[in-house]
């Protein structure tokens, strides 16, 4: 009897291992099917071309943003989803006004020199007459503190700390420099400066200025803040080493009354666990100076394409798969906060949320975060699926997810950032050249397939 029992146990173990291998083979075949659908019959590049043509410069609250809402809602309506709806948001609305002017005035060696410039988002303008003042160059906010009122009052503060070109992680390099853009004007105004110039946030040395968000502390006088191209920042710095420099700057940007816009949402209802939501999303708004192709039209069409791919492959999700195109990531995060607030009021549970907001380049993997109480267990589980995705050049690592989905962390699901190759991302970030011709069709399609593959595994196995 003992021998028979051992034999039965052995057969049970062998059959279990065989079943597991069979399941893995089925998953690998379906992930291959997902990629075939994306690469043979993808729609995301076509959608992105239309989005950047119909609604370029779709800053939240603008007519272009309204056009983007209508276009993406129309596309979602054509996919055969269970539900498509708009979620209202009241957002700040900033307008750039006239083309900015920045120039070095009457340099002894070089005369007057025009500098390529873009006002920073949410910045107050100079007014129609502009202003002229002496320039003082700094590398950090703390250097402004050291100079104090004596060194800064009545001057234009020029922030010229580059993104670290030696950092392989370009987002880390961005994080190490962007404080001067976001907080530089407020810090300079504290000591009586009349304006600020900021080196554009890119590792490239070129003549393309990059805009981006900034804000003022409530206790300081708003002063104009304008970004200049990296090549012009190098030039201005070189002239300052030779002689005192005065600069003329003019912008007419201003904040307008808040506007109504919308998050755009569509979903496939789960067949077994409809109350467990897997979200895919990007932010629909972009800065007003380019097409917003990589930032973040790519993330929006990635997310829309995930739902289309699953439907086209005949897959019926167990859980609810929801696409959310968020409003107002660039200068307020109102869309993400509104979505999380309403979700919490409804007592929803997001099993997982994936945001694509790092461009449409070649997929490299995903980054993961969650509430500390659940992260270890959930991350351990998803890493078991990595062998299925490694053949596609993908990796998993701990790290941030996305600004729009961050407010969902309290629901204790897994928050995931789609991570493409980022070496070229800041060549286009917040700049006039972020247009469809900067996006490679195949890379974009691979991104959608990568996200759909992870959604499939999350839906099939849960957490």
CB 189 within 8 A of CB 214: no
Q: At what angle do helices 372-383 and 441-461 cross, to 10 degrees?
A: 110
Cβ atoms 410, 353 nearer than 8 A: no
What's the CA gap between 186 and 222, in Å, rounded? 7
- In the chain, how long is the greatest CA-to-CA distance? 103
Cβ atoms 382, 460 nearer than 8 A: no
Give the helix/strand (H/E) hosting 342: helix 334-345
CA 435 – CA 205 distance, rounded (Å): 19
Q: How far apart are CA 160 and CA 223, in angstroms?
A: 18
Within 55-109, where are the H helices? 63-77
Of 143, 276, 305, 329, the active-site residue reads 329
State how far the Cα of 123 lies from the Cα of 253, in Å rounded to an integer: 7
Express the helix, strand and coil content of the chain in percent, nearest 5 each. Answer: 40, 25, 35
Place of tokens 């972009």: 286
Is 329 among the residues known to form the active site? Answer: yes
Q: Which phi and psi angles does 359 have, rounded to 5°?
A: 100, 175
Query: For residues 235-259, b (16+ Cβ closer than 10 Å) or e, as one string?
Result: bbeebbeeeebebbbbbbbbeeeeb
| Residues 81, 301, 291: CA angle, nearest 5 degrees | 140
**N- to C-terminal Cα separation, the chain:** 40
Nearest Cα to Cα of residue 276 among 24, 461, 27: 461
Catalytic positions are 329
């Amino acid at each position: 009897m003992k021998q028979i029992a051992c034999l039965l146990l052995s057969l049970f173990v062998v059959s279990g291992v065989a079943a597991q291998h069979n399941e893995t083979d089925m998953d690998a075949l379906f992930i291959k099917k997902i990629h075939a659908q994306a690469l043979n019959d993808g729609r995301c590049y076509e959608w992105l071309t239309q989005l950047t043509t119909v609604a370029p410069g779709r800053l939240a609250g603008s007519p272009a943003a309204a056009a983007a809402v209508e276009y993406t809602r129309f596309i979602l309506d054509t996919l055969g989803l269970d539900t498509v709806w708009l979620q209202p948001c009241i957002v700040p609305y900033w307008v750039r006004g006239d083309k900015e002017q920045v120039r070095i005035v009457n340099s002894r060696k070089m005369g007057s020199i025009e500098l390529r410039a873009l006002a920073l988002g949410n910045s107050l303008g100079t007014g129609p007459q502009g202003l002229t003042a002496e320039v003082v160059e700094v590398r950090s906010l703390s250097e402004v503190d050291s100079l104090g009122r004596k060194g800064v009052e009545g001057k234009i503060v020029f922030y010229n700390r580059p993104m670290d070109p030696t950092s392989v992680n370009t987002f880390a390099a961005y994080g190490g420099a962007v404080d001067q853009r976001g907080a530089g004007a407020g810090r300079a105004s504290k000591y009586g400066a009349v304006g600020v110039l900021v080196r554009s946030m890119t590792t490239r040395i070129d003549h393309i200025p990059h805009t981006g968000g900034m804000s003022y502390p409530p206790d300081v006088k708003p002063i104009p803040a304008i970004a200049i191209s990296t090549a012009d920042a190098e030039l201005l710095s070189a002239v300052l080493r030779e002689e005192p420099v005065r600069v003329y700057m003019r912008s007419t940007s201003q904040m307008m009354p808040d506007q109504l816009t919308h998050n755009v949402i569509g979903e496939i209802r789960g067949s077994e666990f409809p109350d467990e939501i897997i979200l895919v999303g990007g932010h629909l708004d972009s800065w007003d100076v380019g097409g917003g192709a990589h930032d973040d039209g790519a993330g929006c069409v990635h997310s829309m394409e995930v739902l289309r791919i699953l439907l086209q492959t005949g897959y019926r999700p167990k859980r609810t798969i929801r696409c959310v195109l968020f409003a107002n990531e660039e200068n307020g995060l109102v869309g993400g906060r509104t979505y999380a607030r309403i979700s919490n009021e409804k007592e929803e549970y997001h099993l997982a949320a994936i945001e694509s907001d790092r461009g449409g380049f070649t997929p490299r993997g995903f980054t993961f975060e969650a509430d500390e109480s659940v992260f270890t267990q959930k991350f351990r589980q998803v890493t078991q699926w990595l062998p299925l995705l490694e053949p596609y050049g993908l990796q998993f690592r701990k790290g941030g997810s996305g600004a729009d989905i961050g407010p969902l962390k309290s629901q204790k699901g897994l928050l995931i950032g789609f991570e493409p190759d980022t070496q070229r991302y800041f060549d286009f970030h917040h700049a006039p050249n972020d247009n469809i011709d900067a996006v490679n069709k195949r890379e974009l399609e691979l991104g959608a397939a990568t996200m759909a593959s992870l959604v499939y595994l999350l839906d099939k196995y849960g957490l």
